Amino acid sequence: MNYSLRDLRVGFISCFFDKKIRSIYLCTSFTIGNYTAILNYISYPLTEPPFSMSQSLIGFIYVATLSGVFGSIIFGRFIGQIFDISLYRIALFTIFIGVIFTVSNFIWLVIVGLLLVSFGLFASNAIASNWIANNSPEQYKTEANSLYSIFYYVGSSVIGWLSGYLFSFLGWTFFMILIGFILLILILFIGNVREHNINHKLLDVNR
């Protein structure tokens, strides 16, 4: 079977404009971008009062990001039982709660916030990748997964890098408020996608 560049282009375009999955690409890009931004710049407020932590101790706190592994495992089990896009909203809301905690003046709340952010991020990735695999066009599964990876790494690198300018301008607290606001928009956006899919399925049944 010959596979040309034209076929590849058609596959990517079809997946990007597919209403069932294109929103996941955009949400994934912003979610991983926000996560990267948090990890990149959280050390700055931690080195200042009221924390005044050393770099070695801050490095130890990054171990909290391993909680993301458990997020993937736990939500992976839910996916097998209740596979719905609303699970993605729950994962994003978990990140949102974690973001709120990271602006606290209590170090234990900041650590809990990092745990929740990492937990929700890895959970959202597990849900998103499964959603792409199960809802992408049958003939373009490879292109759909490739496009997901592209949005994932572009979000991580580009948004994670550009957010540094916002952090230097806004400061940590307002920077995190902005990230929280973006997450709320994504949660509402995914909610609209869910309603669209439900209505689409009802129309198919009525037909």
- Integer CA distances (angstroms), 204 to 86, 138, 139, 157, 190, in order: 21, 18, 21, 40, 21
Domain boundaries, the chain: 21-206
Query: What per-residue confidence (pLDDT) applies to 199?
Result: 43
CATH 3.30.200.20 assigned to domain 21-206? The reply is no
Q: 96-144 pLDDT, tens per residue?
A: 999 999 999 999 999 999 999 999 998 898 888 888 988 888 888 989 9
Neighbouring C-beta atoms of residue 47, cutoff 10 Å: 14
Contacts of 136 (CB under 8 A, 6+ apart): 15, 18, 20, 21, 143, 144, 145
Q: For residue 192, what is the enclosing H or E element?
A: helix 172-206
Please answer whether residues 131 and 27 qualify as being in contact, where contact means their C-beta atoms are separated by less than 8 angstroms.
no
Query: What per-residue confidence (pLDDT) applies to 74?
Result: 73
Q: 148-175 pLDDT, tens per residue?
A: 999 999 999 999 889 999 999 999 999 9
